[in-house]
Amino acid sequence: MDVTTDPSAPWLIAGLGNPGPEYAMNRHNVGFMVADLLAERIGGKFKRAGKAQAQVVEGRIGPPGPGSRRVVLVKPMSYMNLSGGPLNALRDFYKVPVGHIVAVHDELDIDYGTLRLKLGGGDNGHNGLKSMTKVMGPDYHRVRFGIGRPPGRMQVADFVLKDFSAAERKELDYFVDRAADAVECLVIEGLERAQGTYNS
């Protein structure tokens, strides 16, 4: 669980979501949105990862030189509740320690746009985390992107599979940008610094 055991080991950053254009702007797909922005920042394009049910981008985050970190950005293409399988296969392929895995995902119990970073913990009913924990244990990092609770009596499943509202979309780019910053800070400067800067 100690992320300092092998600083040269790559980081696997998993944006969680569902594949397909019909899901692209869903609240449940905010992990994909953050992964897409990170890929853009490192100048890469997502490509199919061999036999794994996932798309990947390889690159480096951080300033040129010894301060940069090798990263593998991943978008599982297996649907949310089966995210763990492709991620575990890629973890084995790239020889990534669990402490160098980051899941970026939507979080119902946090207000919209609020970020919380942590290492380990439960899945809080999130099917993507549930699938990851089943195959690799709970000791990976999470960047939790708040989407708030469903209004009225709307079911959770309906809420997360709906697009962000028009009001939410006005600030969505800013919040996704901030979440990408938080991922970079976590990878380069460590969890404590990232929590101090981005947890709210």
56 contacts 46 by C-beta, under 8 angstroms: yes
Secondary structure (3-state) at 2: coil
Q: What are phi and psi of 161, to 5 degrees?
A: -95, 15
Q: What are phi and psi of 165, to 5 degrees?
A: -70, 165
Residue 1: count other Cβ atoms within 10 Å of its Cβ. 12
User: In whole angstroms, what is the distance from residue 54 CA to residue 46 CA?
Assistant: 9
User: In whole angstroms, what is the distance from residue 127 CA to residue 132 CA?
Assistant: 9
190 contacts 3 by C-beta, under 8 angstroms: yes
Active site residues: 28
H/E stretch holding 166: helix 166-189
